[in-house]
Structure 1
Amino acid sequence: MADLSLPPLTVPTVPGPRDGADPAGAQHDERLSVPAWWWVAGLGPTLILAAEVHMGSPGVQAWLPYVVLVPLVVWLIARYGRMRVQVTEGELRVGQAHLPLDVVARAAAVPASAKRAALGRQLDPSAFVQHRSFVPTMVLLVLDDPDDPTPYWLLSTRHPQRLLGALRAGGVTVVDGAGSPA
């Protein structure tokens, strides 16, 4: 009788951003997803509210809050936690915005202890800010573009040193807190 067994199946693996290599050539790729407790804090009260309406209303009105409120809260939390910070081939992408690295004069990390000051009185109203309250650290990018009135970008990142390393590899001068090259 002939052997009808199949050879072992081998699945080629494509390295992803977590493996250190991105097929699209990303030098830095980070998703600023919300913490897990946000899901509990958002869905818990929503389900309680929907249950209260369910107990007090007959018919269609009983299940309508589950159909409307729960997907709405899931959509809001998921949307807020989908911002990506990427450095790819001479360009920085933050959410929908993108910035060529050749217009960045210098970059620096903003530690958690200086975040409040950077977003408070020191914030220039014409700066581009992508802030996520659940991310403690930020990166400041000072621009040198005469055609753009934006003086700097201030963006949240969980891994400022990795982002600064990718920016340095792209030709951006990275400085420390005192303003000297890092």
Structure 2
Amino acid sequence: MSESAVTAPTAFRERLFVPWWGWPLPLGAAVLLAAEIHMGFPGVRSWLPYALLVPLAVLLLVRMGSTKVEVSGGELRVGEAHVPVELLGEVEVFDSKSKRKAMGPNLDPMAYVVHRGWVGPVVKVELRDPQDPTPYWLFSARSAERLAAVLRER
């Protein structure tokens, strides 16, 4: 990694965490499943399903919310993927209502998609890399307009 990539300022950073209203149902399901197992195996082992399933549900929710969208060091990073901003083309923002067509009938099967249902807007960024068969990235971003402005000015 070059010296400039390490010291370059971050122009945009966002984490697509799971909101508070997304936690009760999975946690309740984990507790309910643990209670079902507990009823079938009473005794010393009764705590085991709670000790395994509830932390597993928490881990799943935290992992789902660990996706980052970031523009720094001359790169756009979405999740584990990254691309230099020089290879980015047109940037388009879809609100929560118009993203249905972008995610459905208009979606290219070769596109890189990172969608989080609890995040309304999505950003579509065209790729201009002749060696990459991916035509564009389509990903969720809460501050989609701000991200689009950052990408357009680069």
Task: Tell me if both proteins adopt one fold, taking TM over 0.5 as the criterion.
Answer: yes
Deviations 1:142-170 (A, max 9, x none): 11111111101101001111101221232
- Does residue 72 of the first structure (1) align with residue 56 of the second (2)? yes
The CA distance in 1 between the partners of 2:148 and 2:106, in whole Å, is 22
What residue number does 1:121 align with? Answer: 105
Structure 2's unaligned 5+ residue stretches are: 1-6
What residue number does 1:28 align with? Answer: 12
What residue number does 2:79 align with? Answer: 95
CA contact (8 A) 2:8 2:73 kept: no
What residue number does 2:25 align with? Answer: 41
SS at match of 1:113: coil
Q: Say which one has the larger Rg.
A: 1
With the length of structure 1 as denominator, give the TM-score of the two structures. Answer: 0.76
SS at match of 2:36: helix
Q: How many residues align?
A: 148
SS at match of 2:45: helix
- Return the offset for 1:41: 1.0
Cα root mean square deviation, aligned: 1.5
SS at match of 2:132: coil
Which runs of 4 or more aligned residues in structure 1 lie more than 3 Å from their structure 2 counterparts after TM superposition? none
SS at match of 1:153: strand
When residues 151 and 30 of structure 1 are mapped into structure 2, their CA distance, relative to the original with a 3 A threshold, is same
Deviations 1:47-77 (A, max 9, x none): 1232333344222331111111111111111
Structure 1's unaligned 5+ residue stretches are: 1-22, 171-182
Once the two structures are superposed, the pairs formed by residues 4-23 of structure 1 within 5 Å of their partners are none
The CA distance in 2 between the partners of 1:44 and 1:122, in whole Å, is 37
With the length of structure 2 as denominator, give the TM-score of the two structures. Answer: 0.89
1:52 counterpart (24, 31, 36): 36
Higher RCO, 1 or 2 (CA under 8 Å, sep at least 6)?
Answer: 2
The CA distance in 1 between the partners of 2:143 and 2:44, in whole Å, is 48
